[in-house]
Amino acid sequence: MKLLLTGVSHKTAPVEVRERLAFREESLAGALGALKGRVGVSEAVILSTCNRVEIVLTTEDSADPQAIVDAFLAEQKAVSPPTIEPHIYRRQGRDAIHHLFRVAASLDSMVVGEPQILGQLKTAYNAAKSSGALCGWLEGLYERAFSVAKRVRSETGIGQMAVSVSYAAVELARKIFGSLENRTVMLVGAGKMSELAARHLRRSGASHVFVTNRTPERAAEMAALFQGTPVEYTRFVAMLPEVDIVVASSGAPHYILRKDDMQRVIAARRNRPMFLIDIAVPRNIDPAVNQIDNVFLYDIDDLEQVVNANLRERMKEAERAEALVLEEVDRMMARLKVAEVTPTIVGLQEQLEQIRASELEKVRRRYGPFTPQQEEALEALTRGIINKVAHGPITALRSHSAQPDGAHVVAAIRKAFHLQD
């Protein structure tokens, strides 16, 4: 059996190449059928996302998987090999397994640790399975890849931290309030950025959105988006004691919230914490506000700093994840080697059993017939002998299979016992 992974990704190919090779969802079943139908192909999976296209297949030992894939691509996508060749990567055997595990664990993603790729891989797996292109070994490999991804996610912090500004804001809000249920949000200024932040906050459970803006029509429009309440711009500060999270993004050229304003607000709130997000440039909220107890003010740079710190943290976690993936690849390879010696073990046992049966038959012809007791004794004696004889070589096969000299040991044992190839 041969395993070959052929693909292009955002790291090796520009979008012009990737889009030419991509398979649309509705054409995937047909393509899988065509690939599986080629001579020599045992199993096949096609993964096609906006960032990568990968074709994984196993073939019989006699087939040439690379030629099969090239012919398949030429037929399906009408691409000439020389134009795409520089962008394509091909991985075989252990390297293919390693690559697959890394992709599943989101170590090869554009944003390392983003979980979407695992879902896409599962979709590709299900598509291959339902169109009958997966039926055995490769299926096991994918299942292994999913559990490796799961292990990486639970044992490293690779997917834990927000790596976009608006998600970082939501995550910080969660750090302050715990649950966002029943928390109220005030948008000061009705821009695109604040809309995005409000959408994330609302999705995370925030109960009500107030919107204020210099032009009241725009405030009303935005409030309607979130079933919220527009608030008059001149009196929004008076509303603040009711509000837990403020997203400021107005175009005001000066501070619209100062320290003494906020001191009054927080006193009126009896010191219940408040989260102020200032994504306006120039800033809307006096930075001195952050000195007030129970007020947490983050401006756009602070949020970006959090995102960068999270990204660095992810990179650190990714290193741990790489080690984990390698460990899993080694384990998989060891398992494969053990599976490779299984036919030899079975052959050896069959060989010995055959010898035993024919020798027993000879004895019966010469000295038989025997009483049931005698039959039983002979049976036990001969079976005991062949088990003892087989024990040594079987143990050697099992223990040496995963080692570098394994192939020699297997060959020697096959030769010694006259096992047919």
Partner 1 sequence: MADMSVIWLRVAAALYSLGLLHAILTLVRRRENLFRVALGAFSIGAVFHFVSIMEEGLSTHHCPITNFYETLSMCAFLVVVLYLFIHWRYRLESLSVFIFPLVFVMVLVATMGNPVSAWTSPVIRNAWLTVHIVLVLLGYAALLFTAVASLLYLFQERQLKSKKPRKLSYRLPPLGTLDDLISKSMTLGFALMTLAVIAASTWAFIEHKEAWIKQPAIAISFFTWGTYMALVFLRVTAGWRGRKAAIMTVTVLGFSALTWAAHARLGVLLKP
Give catalytic residues, as residue numbers: 50
Of the two residues 149 and 306, which places its CB atom closer to partner 1 in the complex?
Answer: 306
Residues that bind partner 1 (CB under 8 A): 157, 160-161, 172, 174-179, 269-273, 290, 293-294, 296, 298, 302, 305-306, 309, 313
What is the nearest approach in angstroms of partner 1 to the Cβ of residue 245? 12
Residue type (1 letter), 146: F
Cα atoms found within 13 Å of the Cα of residue 128, Cβ hemisphere only: 27
Helical axes 406-416 vs 300-367, angle rounded to 10° = 10
What is the nearest approach in angstroms of partner 1 to the Cβ of residue 167? 14
What is the nearest approach in angstroms of partner 1 to the Cβ of residue 310? 9
- The dihedral through the CA atoms of 136, 137, 138, 141 has a sign that is positive
Which residue blocks in 240-299 are alpha helix, DSSP H? 259-268
What is the nearest approach in angstroms of partner 1 to the Cβ of residue 75? 50
**Residue 188 to residue 248: CA distance in whole angstroms:** 5
Of the two residues 179 and 358, which places its CB atom closer to partner 1 in the complex?
Answer: 179
Of the two residues 125 and 298, which places its CB atom closer to partner 1 in the complex?
Answer: 298
Residue 414: partners with Cβ closer than 8 Å, 6 or more residues away: 344, 347, 421
Q: What letter does residue 205 receive in the DSSP assignment?
A: T
What is the nearest approach in angstroms of partner 1 to the Cβ of residue 200? 17
Residue 333 burial (CB < 10 Å; 0-12/13-18/19+)? middle
**Residue 188 to residue 411: CA distance in whole angstroms:** 77
What is the nearest approach in angstroms of partner 1 to the Cβ of residue 319? 14
Of the two residues 27 and 207, which places its CB atom closer to partner 1 in the complex?
Answer: 207
E strand residue ranges, 367-409: none
Number of H helices, E strands in the chain: 15, 10
**Residue 139 to residue 159: CA distance in whole angstroms:** 26
Alpha carbon dihedral 361, 366, 367, 369, in 10-degree steps, equals 60
